[in-house]
Amino acid sequence: MSAITRDEVAHLARLSRLALNEDELDQLAAQLDDIISAVAKVQEVAKGDIPPTSHALPLTNVYRTDESRPGLPPEQALAGAPSVEDQRFRVPRILGEEE
């Protein structure tokens, strides 16, 4: 016996403002019934002695602490640049503005 009826699917569709035809109502009723059955199987396995978890494995912080370090000097940072102007990267103009 189906846990979700066609009428219930039609009611949910009206509440969701979805226009479903007769075939879609039948198809969704069967699909929702399958979903409810799958959830029921999971609930059978998830007994009270198993603590709820968000991840299968424990998580640890994988980030290192932030440390202030000196950066590159401008000459070294610009050494590989194709074009340099006034100790800055020179790039093609993208706006038609005059200087």
Q: What residue type is assigned to position 20 of the chain?
A: L
Domain boundaries, the chain: 6-45
Nearest-angstrom CA–CA distance, 69 and 50: 46
Give the model confidence (pLDDT) of 9-43 as tens digits: 999 999 999 999 999 999 999 999 999 999 888 88
Nearest-angstrom CA–CA distance, 1 and 17: 27
pTM, to two decimals? 0.44
Determine what percent of the chain is predicted with pLDDT higher than 70: 93
Assign 97 to helix, strand or coil.
coil
Q: What are phi and psi of 58, to 5 degrees?
A: -65, 145
CATH topology assigned to domain 6-45: Histone, subunit A (1.10.20)
